[in-house]
Amino acid sequence: MSSDSLDRLISRILEDAKEQSCAIVNEAKRSAEELLEEREKETQKKAQKTCQEIRRSAEADTENIVHRESVDAIIKARWIMLSEKRKIIDEVFMKVKDRLQAYAKEESYQKLLIHIIEEAAMAAGEGRLEVLVNKSDSQRKLPLKELSAKVSSKLDVETTLKLSDKIINAIGGAVVQSEDGRTKIDNTLESILERERKNLEPKATAVLFSDESA
């Protein structure tokens, strides 16, 4: 093969290689563009899906927050209502206490006081008992001898009642205790009212707030 023929052959080979290289490069570019476009579409889909999930999650969170806030508001409203009811009930019993205090100054109270002392003495039991009353009631003529005989008869055990020198701070009623102080029956008007409140409060509530259930 002559030198010219060899040069032409080399030149053709280089030309073919160049064409093939260009074709390979173009194919690579096209594949890369297609892959890039595909990846871009996938990314957009994922981004869209993520956005939807975030939105759904945000909507769910918002609903939960609204529900939670609503429940909290209802609970707070109920607590406020209960608190106001409690205040009203307390006011009612304060007025009852005021009426008892006023009643303790009336003549008819003497009969109640004697009954209270007798009841407390019966609960305290036999023996030597002291009767403690407030300053005003300590000035009253209390038939403690008659009460002692009456209680002794009912208990069938010797029981004596005597007025104590100690003065109690109460609107009325009495405290009856044994001389050694081991047995003590608090029958003051305040204590009686407090004990009865457990029974009276539901009735008072029903009367005061009956319209709410209608």
Q: Give pTM, 2 decimals.
A: 0.58
Domain harbouring 146, CATH code = 3.30.2320.30
Any domain includes 94: no
Any domain includes 97: no
Residue at which a domain ends, from 45, 79, 113: 79
Task: State which residues form the domain around 170.
Answer: 104-206
Do residue 124 and residue 180 come from a single domain?
A: yes
Extract the tokens encoding 194.
Answer: 């407090």
User: Contact, 151 vs 159, CB < 8 A?
Assistant: yes
Distance CA 184, CA 193 (A): 18
Which DSSP helix (H) or strand (E) runs through 185? strand 184-188
Any domain includes 150: yes
User: Contact, 162 vs 177, CB < 8 A?
Assistant: no
Any domain includes 95: no
Per-residue tens of pLDDT for the chain, all 214 residues: 555 655 566 566 656 555 654 565 565 556 656 666 776 677 677 767 776 777 777 677 777 776 677 777 777 766 777 677 777 777 877 888 888 889 899 989 999 999 999 999 999 988 899 999 999 999 999 999 999 999 999 999 999 999 999 999 999 999 999 988 889 999 999 999 888 887 777 776 776 666 554 4
Distance CA 87, CA 89 (A): 5
User: What is the total residue count of the chain?
Assistant: 214
